[in-house]
Amino acid sequence: MFERGNVFKRFNQWLQESLFRPLEDKKMPVMEHLVEFQVRLTRAVIVTGIVFVGTFFYADTLIKWLRIPLQNMFVPSTLSWEPTDLPTIPFVFLAPAEALWQNVKVAGLFAIVLAVPYVLYEIWCFIVPGLHVQERRFVGPFVCLSTLAFYAGAVFSFFFVLPFALNFLISYGVNAGFTPQISIAQYVGFALWFLLVFGLIFEVPLALTIMAKLGWIDAPFLIRYWKWALLGSFIIAAILTPTPDPFNQTLMAGPMFLLYWVGILGAKLFGKQPSTESVAAGSAPAGKHAAVMGVVTVAKSSESEYVRVPSSGSRV
């Protein structure tokens, strides 16, 4: 027992010296960081839970909103929804708890989306004491822009992509002679997956701009590999699209490739510029090489223009 106690003490001492002590801040030890993280995580969970209670009471209304792209098309000129030629499509549930579970799923997802600003605020308050001034200026706008980009992608999918995808798929089945009866679980999963994926796709320009700002890539590099980006867009769309048809794959790959070019523009405008020292270092060898060539040229020219003294034997 005494030996086991010594082994445990030595292991604890090694753990403190090798793992925890290097991570400790001079102002705040590791345990205080963990306590603060626990407090902020608890606050974020409580706020998300409170928002979930509110969204759950409106889950039926949220599902009705999700049904809008099923039989309507958004018209940008009038900013209104126009009904399509599809017949009325009833929702069915294939399990006793399926309808309840879909309400919980929709309410939970919308609660997370609505609580994202507060969650990001707690994350910001947790990490900001350890950041430098330049890093604070960099991280803050990045978090705000990434959140807005995600919301923009979800809105774009809801108003433009999802109606076209649903209209194409259901029209194909109706024209083939089938009667549409959609499971509530399948439809909710399809719609939420499209919203989530397009929210992430709209992060592509921001991600490329950030990598260019860090100096990992630049605009000429991205332009050079645009063909591979096009191929990668279709491969990623084939993986992420919930259906195997090429129509939905193109609906996802097209905006992704266009956003790739938006990222190239961002990399060109906000990319890391070469420093003066690197430019001077790059021009120094060229100047030295030019100086050496000049010396060699002068030497050759002087040798070719040299006039020899006539020898005495040539005189008469």
Q: Tell which wins on pLDDT, 111 or 313.
A: 111
Please tell me whether residues 87 and 160 are part of one structural domain.
yes
Please tell me whether residues 37 and 185 are part of one structural domain.
yes
Structural domain for 52, as ranges: 21-202
In the chain, the percentage of residues whose pLDDT exceeds 90 is 34
Is 16 within the bounds of a domain?
A: no
Is 6 within the bounds of a domain?
A: no
The per-residue pLDDT for 17 is: 62
Please tell me whether residues 214 and 195 are part of one structural domain.
no
Please tell me whether residues 168 and 98 are part of one structural domain.
yes
Indicate the pLDDT class of residue 147, thresholds 50, 70 and 90: confident
Q: Tell which wins on pLDDT, 47 or 2.
A: 47
Last residue of a domain, one of 202, 225, 241: 202
Please tell me whether residues 51 and 174 are part of one structural domain.
yes
Does 154 score more than 50 pLDDT?
yes
Last residue of a domain, one of 274, 290, 306: 274
pLDDT of 168-187, one tens digit each?
Answer: 889 988 888 888 889 999 99
Number of domains in the chain: 2
pLDDT of 192-241, one tens digit each?
Answer: 999 999 999 999 998 898 888 878 888 999 999 999 999 999 999 888 88
The per-residue pLDDT for 304 is: 47
Please tell me whether residues 136 and 78 are part of one structural domain.
yes
Please tell me whether residues 183 and 232 are part of one structural domain.
no
Give pTM, 2 decimals: 0.71
Indicate the pLDDT class of residue 297, thresholds 50, 70 and 90: very low
Please tell me whether residues 197 and 210 are part of one structural domain.
no
The per-residue pLDDT for 128 is: 76
Is 305 within the bounds of a domain?
A: no
Is 294 within the bounds of a domain?
A: no
Please tell me whether residues 30 and 67 are part of one structural domain.
yes
Last residue of a domain, one of 202, 235, 260: 202
Does 293 score more than 50 pLDDT?
no
Average pLDDT over residues 243-272: 87
Choose the weakest-confidence range: 45-54, 118-127, 290-299: 290-299
Please tell me whether residues 127 and 56 are part of one structural domain.
yes
Is 4 within the bounds of a domain?
A: no
pLDDT of 4-39, one tens digit each?
Answer: 667 667 766 765 565 445 444 556 666 777 888 899
Is 13 within the bounds of a domain?
A: no
Average pLDDT, the chain: 80
Please tell me whether residues 68 and 88 are part of one structural domain.
yes
Is 289 within the bounds of a domain?
A: no
Please tell me whether residues 135 and 46 are part of one structural domain.
yes
Concatenate the DSSP letters of all residues of the chain into one string.
-HHHHHHHHHHHHHHIIIIIHHH--SSS-HHHHHHHHHHHHHHHHHHHHHHHHHHHHTHHHHHHHHHHHHHEEEETTTTEEEE-SPPP--EE-SSTTHHHHHHHHHHHHHHHHHHHHHHHHHHHHHHGGGS-HHHHHHHHHHHHHHHHHHHHHHHHIIIIIHHHHHHHHHHHHHHTTPPP-EEHHHHHHHHHHHHHHHHHHTTHHHHHHHHHHTTS--HHHHHHTHHHHHHHHHHHHHHH-SS--HHHHHHHHHHHHHHHHHHHHHHHHHSPPPPHHHHHHHHHHHHHHHHHHHHHHHHHHHHHTPPPPPPGGG--
pLDDT of 55-68, one tens digit each?
Answer: 999 999 999 999 99
Is 96 within the bounds of a domain?
A: yes
